[in-house]
Amino acid sequence: MVRVDVPPRLLWVGAALAGVVHLLVPGLLLWAGRLSYRLALRVEFDPKPGAKRRVRLVGLGFLAVAALVRRLLDR
């Protein structure tokens, strides 16, 4: 098992930042995914209806994890 020493604050700040990005610019993330799939995997990525809403839900999950991690680290 590989151990990576990450400053505790970076864990929850990174999760919170990822959550905010998912909430604010889901279209940009879907575009980046589409581009990455096309360039790296040589396949078409076609988001289905409601994809932006699901990306935002993932953002809420990131924010919930960030809050939990911060709470656990503050103990």
- 17-41 confidence digits (pLDDT tens): 999 999 999 999 999 999 999 999 9
Residue indicated by tokens 């279209």? 27
Q: What are the structure tokens assigned to 52, written together? A: 């932006």
Tell me if the pTM is above 0.95: no
Structure confidence at residue 4 (pLDDT): 78
CA atoms within 13 A on the CB side of 66: 17
